[in-house]
Amino acid sequence: MKKYLLPLFVMVILAAAFTSCKPDEEIYNPNCKISKIWYRSNSDWDHPNERYVYDSKDKLLQEIIVDSVYSFKFTYNKDNTVSQIVHVGEDYTETVALQWTDRLLDKMTYTIDGAVRLDYTFHRHTDKKDPAKTRIDYIEEMYDREFYDQYFWKSGKKHPLYDKVFGNFEEIAEIFAKSASKDLMMYSVKRFVYDPGKHKDYENISTYVEEFPIAQTVVTHTYTYDLKSYNPFYGLPFAYADVKGYYYNLPTSEHVETMVAGSLSKVVDIAYSYEGLHYMNDKHYPREFVTISSETNVPRHTYILYKK
């Protein structure tokens, strides 16, 4: 489930113009790179919430430094796919390991001090009209119940890498807390529906549905897009929660419906707007994201500074 802190969203999710990648390769290699991010209305410009650090050639993302307190460090395979993201905390180490086939993400595994707590497995379909194109059809997710029932949920420990990559921990824990099942592993699946983007080689996710069979819960997210704005996080699915790395254009609205045991339980509407334009290769990337959720009606402002 989404955490609404990130732009779009909060995930915030993204328009990257690839310089050396095929359209369906999930490699973050935009012409317009992010330098700093602020997640607040009255920004302290000297102290960004996130700083992006690249390699000596200014190509590969090496580290995201958060609040000058901790960081997420990236290591790479020889083909420039991310092999691992690591956050070393005071009490534990969080790691996300990534597996790829032909530069397409197959699996992400989240561990705490080496113990596996979550597996994401990606399933794809091939475009019959263009076999070179693939799209994510659905993602299977396996959760360690002990982790959600006890390890962090009751201890109050923080897990920033989990929240950044997979979404809001508390929301998932609350869904499974309502389940009477005694299964040690919990299962969910995300299913995707796409709409064409402005560029023929890219598509936006129009709808995705999260199904939690054990908890009899189904959450449906539906989007509309601004086809003139581009998403600076596009191609970066491994650094922003949920599916924000897969939006080519930027959403203008999100409608979220939660069904429990076949009955409507919750409805949330989120409006997204964008201010300040940064141009790169005739594409414009917003400098400010404004997110308003019907749950609070309080605007959340996200500011982005680009390297180029």
Identify the pLDDT of residue 233: 83
Per-residue pLDDT tens over the stretch 186-216: 889 999 888 765 555 567 888 999 999 888 8
List strand residue ranges (DSSP E) for 11-114, in order: 34-38, 50-54, 61-66, 70-76, 82-88, 93-101, 104-112
Residue 182 above 60 pLDDT?
yes
Distance, in Å, from the CA atom of 308 to the CA atom of 291, rounded to the nearest integer, reads 25
Condensed to tens digits (0 to 9), the pLDDT of residues 236-271 reads: 766 666 677 778 888 999 999 999 999 999 999 999
Residue of higher predicted confidence among 27 and 194: 194
C-beta contacts of 264-268 below 8 A and 24+ residues apart: 265/217, 267/294, 268/293, 268/294, 268/295
Fold exhibited by the domain 34-306: Porin (2.40.160)
Share of the chain above pLDDT 90, in %: 36
Torsion of Cα atoms, 14 then 19 then 25 then 28, to 10°: -50
> Which segments within the chain are labelled E, that is strand?
34-38, 50-54, 61-66, 70-76, 82-88, 93-101, 104-112, 115-126, 134-144, 185-196, 203-212, 217-230, 249-260, 263-280, 283-293, 300-306
Residue 279's alpha-carbon distances to 18, 33, 152, 198, 225, in angstroms, are: 15, 12, 42, 17, 19
Which one, of 277, 247, 278, 283, lies nearest residue 9 by Cα?
Answer: 247
121-140 tens-digit pLDDT: 999 887 777 666 677 889 99
**Chain mean pLDDT for the chain:** 80
The band of 285, judged by pLDDT with boundaries at 50, 70 and 90, is confident
CA-closest candidate to residue 290, choices 41, 22, 35: 41
Q: What is the pLDDT of residues 3-17, one digit of tens each?
A: 333 332 222 222 222
Q: Has residue 73 got a pLDDT over 90?
A: yes
Domain boundaries, the chain: 34-306
- Nearest CA among 28, 135, 36, 123 for reference residue 82: 28
Q: Which helix (H) or strand (E) holds 173?
A: helix 169-177
Strand partners, 283: 280
The pLDDT score that the predictor gives to residue 245 is 78
> How far is the C-alpha of 39 from the C-alpha of 185, rounded, in Å?
34
Mean pLDDT for the stretch of residues 94-113: 91
Residue 103 predicted with pLDDT over 80: yes
